[in-house]
Structure 1
Amino acid sequence: MADVRILLTDKAIARLPAPKEGWYLARDTELKGFFVVVGKRKRTFTVQGDLRQGGKRASSIRVAIGDTSEISTRSARATAKDYLAQISRGQHPKANKLGSATGEPATAEGGATASSGGITLRQAWERYRDAHMIRKGRSERTIESYRDHVERVFVEWLDSPLLELSLDPVKVVTKHDDITKESGPYIANGSMRTLRAIYNHARKSNKSLPADNPVNAIDWNGENRRDTGMGTSDLKGWFAELAALDNPIRREFHLFTLLSGCRPTALQEIQPNHVNFGRRMVHIPKPKGGAKRAFDIPLSREMVLCLVRAMRCGRQMYPSQAAEWIFPADSASGHLVEQKEDRGTLSKWGNDLRQSFRTIATAAGVSEFDAKLLMNHAIPGVNAGYITRHKLLEDHLRSQQQAISGAVFAALGETLVRKTTVRNWLGRRASRRTLQIEPNGALADGAFGREAA
């Protein structure tokens, strides 16, 4: 909504409509620089003015006065006049708070010294990264996501004291609204969660920081769970699309994502030594959550054949990279990195297939508890602590995995025979081939030759 100008009173503010997206300003017609920031769920009295030093404009600042639900307009107006008078004299209205909170003096002009705000966002982020994320084994992808938020989204705040943000939460509210407009609601919420976590961690060793996290002032964007999974009735069309892909390694990668329900980013880094065909297991060493969440995926017959086809094609297309990766590619890392496809070519990929796995598991009669174990989800509740997952892998969970894969291929029906591209890829007896396994769990050398499509 566009900004409005009205005489601010308690009744007038109560009648202001909430914006559908973002925020807008209701400026007072009586006192210049006094306004209300109107968000979807929160309204804040605020002043804005130009700080001057040596008779010249140094900067324009906004200072929050208080929530409209906690302070009357009359009281807020009186405070606004006082704040605006201080700003006109070149003094930050909250300079004394900045100084007293850290025990350090303010500058002669009334602003805080460079060090009076205590720990900066950059320092807090580095401590959080090293002392919390790395020490607790968070994955490189998770750390990189946090780094992107801090060093890109909040780049202008890197050397700002966290105390300044905590005493002027309107900055955080405005930033969240700006990110929402520029990058969308999910990026805005995600970056604010990062800022909230860093602030909370910093406060543990910086007791001068207020207990009220400035991120608490924002109005969170609504986030809808993505509902893009397939049911069994959708699989015929999807398999036809998949069979038509030119790159056979990408084809097998998408199929294995569907059959395993695993996160695609974890599957991209599977290595040959992670696969034990004798035990019919594949090890995922660094899933979401880091090494401490490492787990094994039991393999159905269809999943074994999928991996064999991927390894065979990898040896033909990228022989050097295939020695190190199950899904090799001509990339800097040597493995498949970009898993996105044109939706017109392949309608479902990535996390769509993870959702599909969960949906098909229900159709196959697999319990919600077993499906969560197969997907390495955290199991809530006290009783979950008594479940030893690896004791269930060899028999129970593998049988559940086989039931899901069986439901996937059963849904294809006559497509395996009648659809030429699917038949040439998977063959008529797609799930019944036998493979020769060495004692160490590797495939016999001739297995790649016998596993012709």
Structure 2
Amino acid sequence: MADQREILTDKSIARLSAGKKQYKVRDGELLGFFVLVGKRRKTFMAQGEFWRDGVREFTAQVKLGDFGEMTTRQARGKAKEALGAIAKGQRPGETPKIKPGSITLRQAWERYRDAHMKRKGRSSGTIENYRDHMERLFKDWLDDPLARLGRQPNLVVEHHDKITKENGPYIANGAMRSLRAVYNHARKSNTDLPATNPVSAIDWNKEHRRNSGMGPNDIGGWLKELYAMENPLRREFHLLILFSGSRPTALKKVRIEHIDLRARLIHIPQPKGGEDKAFDIPLSRPMIRCVVRAIRWGQIMYSEQAKSWLFPADSEIGHLVEHKEVRDVLSKWGNELRQSYRTLAQAAGISELDIHLLMNHSLPGVNAGYITRDRLLRDHLRQQQQRISELVVQSLEATRYPSLVRWLKSTKVEETVDQAEPGLEPDTMSIAA
């Protein structure tokens, strides 16, 4: 029997006769309110489309009560409440407090930050990188249900395209990797979230490893640029990155108590990856001289901050914050020097495994995991570090720039100020840059 429609009242419902099959009589005033007529009873019902996070899931029906036990007016009032709840995305009979899928992106991010990243000792730099992605690049989604992204992956695809256009392909890919990690973590405790991570729908931007490192033939020209810099403390900072292959962020945070000149080590307590990745950098003789010069320049330039930091500065934190230089002044800095270190190590004949250990990279292969790094530090790895440093120094010794050679071999700051001499000309020949 086809559904009927009329304005439902107690009188009109009383006149409805039972049929061989159930049939519905829909109210002509309130959409979704109807009475279901069966052989023995007449039941008030409410029906609405159940939507969650912008996607229609199914049609929901709610039994309100039987005619005779409640009036039509009472049933219509209950129908309005039920239809209102359905319109808000609440399942019939479900309380808002335990509503599944209601976790927001902000809540998921904060849980991932506190319960995962901090608990596992992730570095402050890594946490800050995630925070920038979540709170800047995804700020418009922070208070939206995370399930919305799971059910509408096209939103993630469109946003990846938007970030690529406005911020670049590398940042767009990085932001999506952060979102993927937060979503996967949230789903462990919110199993009603769609199982497929919405980030899987994007087409990743192609990334190319930057080949901007220097080889042995390039070092002489770069050292000439470095020696001409006005700030001697920044000069030593860049030189130590080249000598150590360290990440700039790690060297900025080296405290005086992290330096053990007697053992010829610098301790890095919180590198990329957090405390679990803490390691020691073995110091070659040129590196020790560089560290001593940095300490002395720091005491001259920033006496108070130098009590705590290897590379002090007049900043709120007390140490060097920004390491970027004008390219016309210094052509290579930051991770380009880390790449240069890797290139020089290969040129010096250092084995792949030793390079991984010196740069604190994850060791390749199963057998390498049985190597105890600390047992190699004081002898073997320091010898390899010395070979790399000697390759840098030798790039100048073959030329006739006595001021630069004297700088690299001295620990006295008064012997490293010859860059004030006009032109810094060599005696008879120029460096091949």
TM-score, with normalisation over the residues of structure 1? 0.71
CA distance in 2, matches of 1:99, 1:160: 23
Q: 1:309 to 1:126 in 2, by over 3 A?
A: same
1:418 aligns with 2:418: no
1:444: which partner in 2? none
Give the root-mean-square deviation of aligned CA atoms: 2.6
| Shift in Å, 1:384 | 2.1
The superposition leaves residues 403-442 of structure 1 with CA deviations (integer Å, 9 ceiling, x where unpaired) of 0001111122344x4364x25633xxx2xx6xxxxxxxxx
- The question of whether the paired residues in 2 share the 8 Å contact of 1:364 and 1:407 is answered with yes
Question: Is 1:196–1:213's contact at 8 Å kept on the other side of the alignment?
Answer: yes
Distance 1:296 1:310, change over 3 A: same
Instruction: List aligned pairs for 1:164-203, cutoff 5 A.
Output: 164-203=148-187
Describe the SS at the equivalent of 1:297. strand
Cα-to-partner distance string for 1:197-233 (whole Å, 9 max, x where unaligned): 0110011111101211001000000110111000000
Does structure 1 residue 152 correspond to structure 2 residue 113? no
CA–CA separation in structure 1 for the residues paired with 2:263 and 2:54: 69
1:136 Cα shift? 0.2
**What SS does structure 1 have at the residue aligned with 2:289?**
helix
Identity %: 58
Name the CA distance, whole Å, in 2 between partners of 1:249 and 1:330: 12
1:91 is displaced (CA, Å) by: 10
Alignment partner, residue 247 of structure 1: 231
Shift of 1:95: 3.0
Structure with max Cα Rg: 2
Superposition deviation, residue 239 in structure 1: 0.4
Residue 382 of structure 1 aligns to which amino acid in structure 2? Answer: V
CA contact (8 A) 1:99 1:117 kept: no
For the residue of structure 2 that corresponds to 1:411, the secondary structure is helix
> How do residues 339-378 of structure 1 correspond to structure 2 at under 5 angstroms?
339-378=323-362
Equivalent residues of 2:101, 2:190 under 8 A apart: no
Deviation at 1:249, TM superposition (A): 0.4
1:108 Cα deviation (Å)? Answer: 5.7
Aligned-partner SS, 1:148:
helix
Return the match for 1:322 from 306, 323, 332: 306
Structure 1 CA distance for aligned equivalents of residues 164 and 416 of structure 2 = 51
Contact kept in structure 2, 1:98 and 1:112, CA below 8 Å: no
- The answer to whether structure 1 residue 131 and structure 2 residue 92 are counterparts is no
The answer for the alignment partner of 2:208 in structure 1 is 224
Instruction: Give unpaired runs (5+ residues) of structure 1.
Output: 1-85, 434-446
* Equivalent residue, structure 2, for 1:31: none
Match of 1:270 in 2: 254
Q: After superposition, where does 1:437-452 map in structure 2 within 5 Å?
A: none
Alpha-carbon offset, residue 124 of structure 1: 0.7
Q: Distance in 2 between matches of 1:124 and 1:193?
A: 15
Q: Deviations over 1:284-303 (max 9, x none)?
A: 11100011111001000000
Q: Kindly tell me: are residues 268 and 93 of structure 1, through their superposed partners in 2, closer, same or farther at Cα, counting changes over 3 Å?
A: closer
Residue in 2 that maps onto 1:40 = none
Q: What secondary structure does 1:408 align onto?
A: helix
> Which residue number in structure 2 is paired with residue 66 of structure 1?
none
Aligned residue type for 2:393:
F
Bigger shift: 243-252 or 327-336? 327-336
Residue-pair matches, total = 343
Partner of 1:313: 297
Aligned AA for 1:134?
A: K
Structure 2 Cα separation of the partners of residues 291 and 338 of structure 1: 23
Give the structure 1 partner of residue 89 of structure 2.
Answer: 112
Amino acid at match of 1:392: L
8 Å contact kept, 1:137–1:290: yes
8 Å CA contact 1:163, 1:209 repeated in 2: yes
Q: 1:163 to 1:364 in 2, by over 3 A?
A: same
Hey, what's the Cα distance between the residues in 2 that align with 1:126 and 1:386?
Answer: 36
> Do the aligned partners of residues 106 and 307 (structure 1) sit closer, same or farther apart at CA in structure 2, a change above 3 Å counting?
farther
The answer to whether the Cα contact below 8 Å between 1:233 and 1:411 also exists between their aligned partners in 2 is yes
CA distance in 2, matches of 1:116, 1:273: 50
Deviation at 1:451, TM superposition (A): 7.5
Question: Closer, same or farther in 2 for the Cα pair 1:201/1:93, shift >3 Å?
Answer: closer
Is residue 106–residue 116 contact of structure 1 (8 Å, CA) maintained in 2? no
Q: What is the identity, as a one-letter code, of the residue corresponding to 2:281?
A: I
Q: Secondary structure at the match of 2:397?
A: coil
Give the 3 Å change call, closer, same or farther, for CA 309–167 of structure 1 in structure 2.
same
1:152 to 1:194, Cα distance in 2 relative to 1, 3 A = same
Note the 1:422-433 alignment, pairs <5 A.
422-423=404-405, 425-426=407-408, 430=409
Is this contact kept in 2: 1:95–1:111, CA < 8 A? Answer: no
Q: Which residue of 1 aligns with 2:24?
A: none
| 2:55 aligned with 1:94 | yes
Q: In structure 1, what is the equivalent of residue 374 of structure 2? A: 390
1:448 Cα offset (Å): 6.0
Secondary structure of 1:412's partner? helix
Q: Secondary structure at the match of 1:402?
A: helix
Contact 1:173 1:217 in 2 (8 A): yes
- Secondary structure (helix, strand or coil) at the match of 1:296 reads strand
Q: SS state of the match for residue 339, structure 1?
A: coil
User: Are the equivalent residues in 2 in contact too, given 1:95–1:112 (CA < 8 A)?
Assistant: no
The farther-off stretch of 115-124 and 236-245 is 115-124
1:254-293 to structure 2, matched below 5 A, reads 254-293=238-277
Is contact 1:299-1:398 (8 Å) kept? yes
For residues 109 and 206 of structure 1, do their structure 2 counterparts lie closer, same or farther at Cα, with a shift above 3 Å needed?
Answer: closer
TM-score using structure 2 length: 0.74
* C-alpha contact 2:53 2:147 (8 A) present in aligned 1: no
